[in-house]
Amino acid sequence: MDLGIAGRTAIVCASSKGLGRGAALALARAGCTVVINGRDQATLERTAEALRAATGATIIPVAADVSSKAGQQALHAAAPEPAILVNNNGGPPPKPFRDVTREALLEGVVQNMATPLELTQAVIDGMIARRFGRIINITSMSVLTPLAGLDVSSAARAGLTAFLAGVAREVAGSGVTINNVLPGYFDTDRLRGSTTRMAAAKGISEEEMAASRRAEVPAGRFGTAEEFGQICAFLASAHAGYITGQNLLIDGGLFRGSF
């Protein structure tokens, strides 16, 4: 399917690896110029070269912390008039709620609520003026169901979801959509890291822990970053203009809900 976004510019935050990279790859394949982002310059450059080789698209790497003002300014300097913004950022490490300090709570809110809101504020008026915009927030299935130790991340991402629910309706008439994608278990460095920690806590091998986690998923497997990216690309497409203010759960059936 032609997504109708060839020639448009996309910013994909935290995209040197993982789900962000999957989104960047799909948008590049759709013909977009893609600004990718990460904190590690070497990793980011390797990703940029790989995406260029795979797609032939223009890939602009910006090494920066998107939670900082300087990082956000660097992204906007690289793409002053983006048509697509994919908000993504690392979450705080798992921690028992009794150990959560005020500082850790505030840092989680900065990373997973304030940062995507600031990035959205910076681009949305231009999108409205050009009568086209797609804002996609990568949140988590933990917005809908608790995941052990992720209370700070869940709260911040839920706050982002609630904040933008009204904004999505406010700007929908201007051709701008805002949607959230809620991943479950995807085969990324973050999932592998949590699997390692869980295996150590239970005194079992990482392979056993990974098999146990896969068994929780009705689909019988972890998701891939590439298939995740394809869903983001569709939400960014010209065909998705009537989808806004939605939370799209992508979890292989892990969340057991009827609605």
- For the chain, domain boundaries: 9-184+225-249, 187-222
Query: What pLDDT sits at residue 23?
Result: 98
The domain covering 9-184+225-249 belongs, at the CATH homologous superfamily level, to NAD(P)-binding Rossmann-like Domain (3.40.50.720)
Residue 133, phi then psi, degrees to nearest 5: -165, 145
- What is the widest separation between alpha-carbon atoms in the chain? 57
Q: In sequence order, what DSSP letters do the residues of 167-202 get, joined into one string?
A: HHHHHGGGTEEEEEEEE-SBSSHHHHHHHHHHHHHH
Answer with the residue of higher pLDDT: 49 or 146.
Answer: 49
pLDDT at position 93, please? 83
Does residue 16 carry a pLDDT above 90?
Answer: yes
CA distance 60 to 67: 19
Residue 70 has pLDDT above 90, yes or no: yes
Residue 259 has a pLDDT of 84
Structure confidence at residue 249 (pLDDT): 97
Distances (CA, A) of 240 to 180, 206, 237, 254: 13, 40, 6, 25
Mean pLDDT of all residues in the chain?
96
pLDDT at 149: 84
Instruction: Count the residues in the chain.
Output: 259
141 and 100 Cβ atoms separated by less than 8 Å? no
* Token output for 62: 């910006």
**Tokens of residue 213, six digits:** 């986690």
Structure tokens at 4: 């109708």
147 pLDDT above the threshold of 90: no
Band the pLDDT of 18: cuts 50, 70, 90.
Answer: very high
At residue 90, the pLDDT reads: 85
Tell me the residue type at 7: G
State the angle between helix axes of 69-78 and 115-130 in degrees (0 to 180), rounded to the nearest 10.
30
User: Residue written as tokens 């962000």?
Assistant: 20
